[in-house]
Amino acid sequence: MLDDRLDPAPADAPSADAPDPTDPRFFVNRELSWVDFDRRVLELAQDPDQRLLARLNFAAIFASNLDEFFMIRVAGQHAKVWNENRRRGPDGRSADEVLDLLRERIDPVVQEHARTVHEDLLPALAEQGILLARHRDLSAEQQAELEDRFRNRIYPVLTPLAVGLGRPFPYISNLSLNLAVLVRDPDTRQTVFARVKLPTEVVDRLEVVRGAQGEQVFVPLEEVVEAHLDALFPGMEVLDRGMFRVTRDADFEISDDADDVKRALEAQLRNRRFGEIVRVEIDAKVSDALRTEIVEQLGVEERQVYDLPGLLDLTALFELVKAPGHNELLDDPWRPVTHPRLREGDDERADVFAAMRRGDVLVHHPYDSFHTSVERFVEQAVEDRDVLAIKMTVYRTNADSTLLPALVRASEQGKQTVALVELKARFDEQANIRWARVLEDTGVHVVYGHPALKTHAKCILVVRREGDKVRHYLHVGTGNYHAKTANLYTDFGLFTRDQELGQDVADLFNQLTGFAKPGRFRKALVAPNGLRDGLLEEVERTVAAHRAGQPTRIRLKMNSLVDRQSIYALYRASQAGVPIEINVRGICCLVPGVPGLSETISVRSVLGRFLEHSRIYAFERGEDRVVLMGSADIMERNLDNRVELVVPVDDEGARDELLDALDRAFCDEEGSWTLGPDAQWTRVRPADPEHPRGLHRELMELHQQRARDADRED
């Protein structure tokens, strides 16, 4: 049933003096929008309504996000400057101007982050028996315990490197923690600069000792090393010391001409830690002389240097989040439930194929169990004698995945088994290379796709013999086939026997594994050869329906909205009067609420307990509802440089579930921000503070109730 928010009034074409949708003023810079996103994550770390360790977890996520942002996005801007690329982006800025603005925006945010951690979160944790302590504040017994660990475990893997005649400044690897030390020979009075890399790859970043009252005391590794510098520089005077950390360009491209994608990728991975420096973090307490030495030796610009108070590399906070015995400081655990349609008999052995024969099944992770849906689907396909083939895309998966071993078993049984492994999934490249080797060695057909395109589509195709015909059983998802992230990310998965979609996905696999030009698909929208056009056609149909007097609405949910053609189309739809609601977790380059341009557009971002990851595109025209879901965000990289799969959801029940999730996302008041016409994000305050709407909480309650109802029916 359409609700009264759909505007039935027809609209005239925009007036001649209406704002131009392509004006750079109405395109938010992608990098600056990302900084706004991480700022929202920081706000959750500062939120007193969140439990303490949940807040600390958000503070750690902020730091981890920022590391990746510098390694990829900021590095890309520096590369443009170094290559003298002066082309301006759709926001009208050059890369050099963007870098200056990033420095201006990021520095106060990271300072605020450090203050939040050291002045708010850590003192609160200390009251709960979780202490982050300086070495000098430890008891004699605790210091003795750490000295023993230093001698036996830490000292043997330390390598002090002095700089001087015949001793060049050492290479500083990406994201490594380093101790800069000035030492002097008391006899010759010669002063030498030295660097000690902290071996966090093989030694814990935080050493744990027990407090007098049983509390857990965490001591940063650098504190332990600094306390024993005499062992590293015997007979020398330590004049000064200070921590610094380097971030390097970690992005790369594989040539379109690469004969062997896997070999080319392995070569690039070896070079990743040698990328150009894009950021240097230095302990704010470092003396001017030592700071100057570090900056000059690294050869960086001042805008690349960040002076930070307290602990460097606050991803170390993840170790505090995992401190045992403090579950009351975390969110209550959530256990996914089995979808009622997949509860035939023993949950672990449900007949997924039978459920699909009765109609499409839509699962919503992490509320619905990944194990009793996606993993069970593949396991059943392996066990079923009538299954002839299993084909699956692999973008990211976990080390203990049950899906890939299942493919191995299927291959051993003689089933046609295909794994389209995307080796270029950023920061998961090594894991995917290892899985590809295992699969190849056991007879699975492994395909790596095209060097210039990432295969980001999420689909599993099962071909089953039924009588004298074969039927396609298909799973299409919005998220990766990764059991661990399926408990943390919100994603939808559609199980369907729709034979047109099945044939579309079969054709897609054949195009990717064989040698064929992209063809026309029956129902699916596939990038890079039709997804953008398909979405823009839906926008134009909605505009036409609105002008014809039908009630209309466009609602979109995604991780990022960047593609300029799509943004211009949404602006034109708004100028025509179409109501548009956008739910975007991260980057949004569109500016809503601008008179004459986007005044019918609203934008909301939801962050919280789970990471919003699903993509839903809904177009409502009178009684006609087109609802699409799939792997693609509305970004140039997804629409032009990736293989993406978005499919229509025709089953009425499944479509209603997607629209209900949209309704709840747009009503969330617990972790939501709205974007204004000034391109500023504002935290949503509950209309009723005693009873706020909460997307994640409501969906957990909904699925729990659905499971209880199914139990009663059993």
**Is residue 325 domain-shared with residue 467, that is, in the same domain?**
no
Task: Please indicate, yes or no, if residue 1 is contained in any of the structural domains.
Answer: no
- For residues 53 and 63, the answer to whether their CB atoms sit within 8 Å is no
Question: pLDDT at position 399, please?
Answer: 67
301-319 pLDDT, tens digit each: 999 999 999 999 999 999 9
Domain boundary among 291, 307, 329: 329
- Domain containing residue 627: CATH number: 3.30.870.10
**Of 113, 456, 482, 546, which one is the catalytic site residue?**
456
Domain boundary among 505, 523, 541: 523
**Is residue 108 domain-shared with residue 148, that is, in the same domain?**
yes
DSSP string over 316-331 = GHHHHHT-TT-GGGSP
Interatomic CA distance for residues 137 and 149, integer angstroms: 18
**Is residue 536 domain-shared with residue 485, that is, in the same domain?**
no
Interatomic CA distance for residues 406 and 383, integer angstroms: 9
**Is residue 351 domain-shared with residue 312, that is, in the same domain?**
no
Task: Kindly give the parts of the chain with pLDDT less than 50.
Answer: 1-11, 254-273, 425, 427
Question: What count of other Cβ atoms lies within 10 Å of the Cβ of residue 174?
Answer: 18
**Is residue 200 domain-shared with residue 281, that is, in the same domain?**
yes
- For residues 652 and 612, the answer to whether their CB atoms sit within 8 Å is no
Cα dist from 468 to 386, 464, 465, whole Å:
11, 11, 7
Domain boundary among 329, 355, 385: 329
- Domain containing residue 287: CATH number: 3.30.1840.10
Task: Please indicate, yes or no, if residue 35 is contained in any of the structural domains.
Answer: no
Interatomic CA distance for residues 448 and 435, integer angstroms: 12
Question: pLDDT at position 261, please?
Answer: 42
Question: pLDDT at position 214, please?
Answer: 82
Q: Which domain holds residue 174?
A: 52-329
Task: Please indicate, yes or no, if residue 447 is contained in any of the structural domains.
Answer: yes
Task: Please indicate, yes or no, if residue 10 is contained in any of the structural domains.
Answer: no
Interacting residues of 50 by C-beta distance below 8 A, sequence separation 6+: 44, 58
For 691, the token pair is: 């009873």
DSSP string over 238-254 = EEEEEEEEEEE------
- For residues 452 and 641, the answer to whether their CB atoms sit within 8 Å is yes
Cα dist from 424 to 269, 295, 486, whole Å:
10, 33, 21
Interacting residues of 155 by C-beta distance below 8 A, sequence separation 6+: 228, 231, 232
Maximum Cα–Cα distance across the chain: 93
Question: pLDDT at position 267, please?
Answer: 46
Helix, strand, or coil here: 48? coil
Q: Does the N-terminal peptide bond of residue 689 adopt cis geometry, omega within 30 degrees of 0? A: no
**Is residue 477 domain-shared with residue 598, that is, in the same domain?**
no
118 given a catalytic annotation? no
**Is residue 432 domain-shared with residue 567, that is, in the same domain?**
no
The mean pLDDT of the chain is 90
**In 235-299, where do the E strands start and end?**
237-248, 277-283
**Is residue 563 domain-shared with residue 709, that is, in the same domain?**
yes
